[in-house]
Amino acid sequence: MGDSTEVLNAMKEHRKTSRRENMDQADGELTLFGEAAEAGGYSLRVMSQHHWNVYSDGKCVVQYWPSANKWQIVKTGKIQHGDRESFRTRLRAGRF
């Protein structure tokens, strides 16, 4: 194999490992996410292991993908990245 193939395969494996670790950590912190959502006036619904939604007044306001530490604000369509703590902080503050 060429060097570029080896590098690409290493990058793919790193991404898979990173996402797996993110999922494991997020699953362990699910109750913290729920508490932060309630403190901010939201409700958290786990749609699947890889996709969570945040609701306000019965409407989805944020979609969250814990494996990628990525969320999308539905109203604006903006996709943002950050760590779990920054997402929880925004939830707790009601800033969505």
Host H or E run for residue 66: none
> How far is the C-alpha of 32 from the C-alpha of 44, rounded, in Å?
11
Q: What is the pLDDT of residues 8-31, one digit of tens each?
A: 999 999 999 998 898 888 888 889
Query: Does residue 75 have a pLDDT over 80?
Result: yes
* pLDDT value at residue 1: 56
Taking residues 55-83, report their average pLDDT: 92
How much is the pLDDT for 24?
87
Res 49: pLDDT: 85
What confidence score (pLDDT) does residue 26 get?
A: 86
Could you list the residue range(s) of the whole structural domain that residue 49 is in?
3-93
Q: How many domains does the chain have?
A: 1
Write out pLDDT tens, residues 34-53: 999 999 999 999 998 889 99
Tokens representing 27 are 């699953």
**Nearest-angstrom CA–CA distance, 80 and 34:** 20
